[in-house]
């Protein structure tokens, strides 16, 4: 964990405290244990978890710098990334984790319980359904997703959940710039505006990575998101 702490500081200016390290070690142990029984993530070694899960999750802070979210929704969170590592860094943040696969929902709830986290809701749902629920629609200042869908589809999942003036953040690989360019029309239709692309460098990872940052500038039309499965089959 000393190496992770050094990397978090040098790459993202994050000072990991003893409390952070204990929580991350517990999370790592639980992930390794559960992965032996359930296929939660393809990454199954400590080094991989620390770089491709923890550091990759931490990279989100490049988008908000000094103003972290007060209410964050992480859509398609899987085993809790990037939401849970970010909650470890920002314990006062209200977090909603959204996942459609039951075993991953169960794991996230277990981790949240083991870490004694407060103000975390784990929702077993599809993003399209959540976006039409009044308690969640336009209820967040930030919505984030990692490797969930093409940006044209992802915008329909995330932007309905974001309040006007808030932001959508997509963690993308080397296709990020092309996806951002192609998604401009869909993003605008949903009330967003592509603000910037931030390159991310992770140690030992050769593939280019980007944070695609979208500002919510207008309310999303009521008909979006469409019914579950439609955005992926018929992208805007």
- Give the per-residue pLDDT at 37: 86
Structural domains of the chain in order of their starting residue, each with its CATH number: 61-233 (3.40.50.150)
Q: How many CB atoms lie within 10 A of CB 169?
A: 25
Residue 183: is it exposed, middle or buried by C-beta count within 10 angstroms (0-12/13-18/19+)?
buried
Name residues whose C-beta falls within 8 Å of residue 200's C-beta, 6 or more positions apart in sequence. 56, 59, 62, 171, 209, 210, 211
Q: Is the pLDDT of residue 151 over 80?
A: yes
Instruction: Tell me the average pLDDT of the chain.
Output: 94
Name residues whose C-beta falls within 8 Å of residue 201's C-beta, 6 or more positions apart in sequence. 11, 209
Rounded mean pLDDT of 68-94? Answer: 96
- Give the per-residue pLDDT at 38: 86
Rounded mean pLDDT of 178-198? Answer: 96
pLDDT in tens, 94-150: 999 999 999 999 999 999 999 999 999 999 999 999 999 999 999 999 999 997 889
Q: Give the whole-angstrom CA distance, residue 100 versus residue 140.
A: 19
pLDDT-wise least confident of 36-45, 86-95, 130-139, 225-234? 36-45
* Buried/exposed code over 136-168 (b: 16+ C-beta within 10 A; e: otherwise): bbbbbbbbbbbebbbbbbbbbbbbbbbbeebbb
- Is the Cα torsion angle 57, 58, 59, 65 positive or negative in sign? positive
């Amino acid at each position: 964990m000393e190496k992770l702490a050094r990397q978090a500081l040098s790459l993202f200016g994050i000072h990991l405290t003893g409390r952070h390290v204990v929580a991350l070690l517990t999370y790592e142990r639980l992930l390794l244990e559960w992965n032996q029984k359930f296929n939660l993530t393809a990454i199954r070694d400590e080094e991989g978890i620390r770089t491709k899960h923890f550091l990759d999750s931490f990279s989100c802070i490049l988008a908000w710098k000094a103003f972290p979210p007060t209410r964050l929704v992480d859509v398609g969170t899987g085993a809790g990334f990037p939401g849970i590592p970010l909650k470890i860094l920002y314990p006062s943040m209200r977090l909603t984790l959204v996942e459609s696969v039951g075993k991953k929902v169960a794991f996230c709830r277990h981790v949240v319980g083991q870490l004694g986290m407060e103000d975390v809701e784990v929702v077993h749902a599809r993003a399209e359904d959540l976006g039409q629920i009044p308690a969640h629609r336009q209820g967040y200042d930030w919505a984030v997703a990692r490797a969930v869908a093409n940006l044209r589809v992802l915008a329909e999942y995330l932007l309905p959940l974001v309040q006007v003036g808030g932001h959508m953040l997509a963690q993308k690989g080397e296709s990020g710039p092309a996806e951002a360019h192609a998604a401009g029309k869909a993003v605008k239709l949903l009330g967003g505006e592509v603000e910037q692309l931030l390159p991310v460098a992770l140690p030992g990872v050769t593939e280019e990575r980007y944070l695609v940052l979208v500002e919510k500038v207008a309310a999303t039309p009521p008909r979006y998101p469409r019914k579950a499965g439609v955005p992926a089959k018929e992208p805007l």
